[in-house]
Structure 1
Amino acid sequence: MRASRSRWVRSGRLSVRFDVRALGVVLLLALAALAASVLLVGTGDFAIPVPDVLRTLAGGGDAGQEFVVRELRLPRVLVGLLVGGALGLGGALFQAVSRNPLGSPDVLGLGQGSTAGALVVIVLFSGSAAEVALGALAGGLLTGLVIYLLAWKRGVHGYRLVLVGIGVAAVATAVNGYLLTEADLVDAARAVVWMTGSLGGSDWDQVWPLLGLCAVLVPLALAHARPLRMLEMGDDIASALGVRVERTRLLLMLAAVLLTAAATAAAGPVGFVALTAPQLARRLTRSPGPNLLPALVMGAALLVTADWLSQRAFGADQLPVGVVTGVLGGVYLLWLLVAERRAGRI
């Protein structure tokens, strides 16, 4: 019989159960994300060695290093961590609710819906960067509402949610293509750059709203990890165990939609992080259940690492981070589809 990896910590009436392996994976991924962040801060035309980066972050750098690190590069890294974490957690929530490894915002059309909202603002109103972000947030929320309503039939179930999401994604993609054909050259170029997904140009004005939203939604999602794990066993079992099934599902879907839409509003539609992060986290922890915290940290580590690769792997020809995640995520999606087919699940 396999020994249990779980541990209990008791203090008076309070007891907390945690998985030792999962906790170790979270700590290692957090260290990897921090290491990649330090490397990313030091990367650029004005290269800064790692010791100088650490000294500057601690307040001991010279004036030039202080400006480059704190004003130019640190906001980009923080946005990358927040966007990656939000996408990883949002993907884990969607996959757990749908009980389907393909049930991620990339497949369900949330990214395409947010893109449609942003394109409406860019093409029809020539809006500012802040207005484009609001348009992307509104588009993601509206798309999530449409998917939920169309998938509802005495509850929302996994494959119906995925199939409806694929249909909505196709419609949103068609709308996006039409908007691009109606745009003038300047707006079309601006829209294409935004649609690629990039952390370039990130500043503190993007950090604070995203940080505030994550400060509310992340604890909310983590607090529902136990009922979410029961939902994965089926609605009847979860209801028998005292879970208010539809209320919990609606609340967690709303949190996932907000996380995904906010991440898209901040960095554009960065592809496949929401799909791959939860799956990689589950394989590392070897633990059943939604693995929300490991997925969050995995998403943050993936995105900042991909951003570092986009700046270092191609020399002067830097790529938007969405290109790197799209290539890596596309390869992973093909592998996942083959694995699911061999297992007889699709």
Structure 2
Amino acid sequence: MNLEVFKHIYFRMPTAVRLLLSIFVLMFLFGLVIHLVEPNQFPSIFDGVWWAFITGATVGYGDYVPLTIPGRIIGILLLLSGGGMLTFYITTLAATTINHENKLSEGKVSFNGSHHIVVIGWNERTKQLADMIADKDSNQEVVLIDRTLDKLPYRHYPVHFIHGDPSEDVVLVQAKIESADAVLISADITIDERKADINTILATIAVRGNNQDVPINAEILTISQVDNAIRAGADTVISSNDFMSTLFYHELFHKKHTRPFETVLNLLESQQFNHVPLPDKMDGSTFKESVLFFLENGELLIGVIRDGEWHMNPQHDMELDKDDTLLLLSAW
């Protein structure tokens, strides 16, 4: 290896690694020299290197001490050079650590994991979602992409923050979108609804272009943009305005002593919906018979999807067909 190649490699190393390598080389040289100068006092090169590190770190155990004038001169040179380098290394390492944490908080560090969930858009809804995921499964990693945040304290939130526009490939590469298990695109409710939906659709197109298989859940605010979101590649379109309007209606006109919002909230916290095809042996059975069948397995049959139509809590004597999809409730 010639000098230019060595310089090319050495000066492209991280600062902390470069300093550590320099310290090892310097301490080895001092250990070798003191061993050659005082072989009786320092029987091996390792003993000399040990003395160099202990002296350079200003610990000074006193187990190895130079006795001759040349040896003590070497010790003085070691304190002047090696000690300063060790101190500089420690301060540089601390500064590098703090700088890295600041970059994490500023969203400038790429994510290097896999099987993670990518959440696009930071708001109170996604904040609570991140807390719920951390509470249910602390091992599940969440990567947040947002362009409006300048800083997100790394220690305070259980997410890996990436600052940037989610419709740009370079930002999605930083979030390692090709290895993600799922993507949620949350609408920006601080801007015009139509503009927010356009941003959501652009992000959906970019994500689908970088990962053809990842499930994309997109929140759309206006009904007119639902079909466009599906065309863009969204697997599930969450029409939050429709959901809230329906919930408002239930709250206004519910029966006495009923609490629709609390009921839905507690239902979704403890139960999950499952869509399953009708088992072959249940073909031709009634809805009531199927309810009893699934209850034995700890699941509750609440509806049937037939030819694209949803039949929630249908008549108990409704006969089920092999092409039906059953809607079940089961514990998480």
Question: TM (normalized to structure 1)?
Answer: 0.21
With a CA cutoff of 8 Å and minimum separation of 6, indicate the structure with the bigger relative contact order. 1
Task: Please say which structure displays the higher CA radius of gyration.
Answer: 2
Q: Say which structure is richer in strand.
A: 2
Q: Say which structure is richer in helix.
A: 1
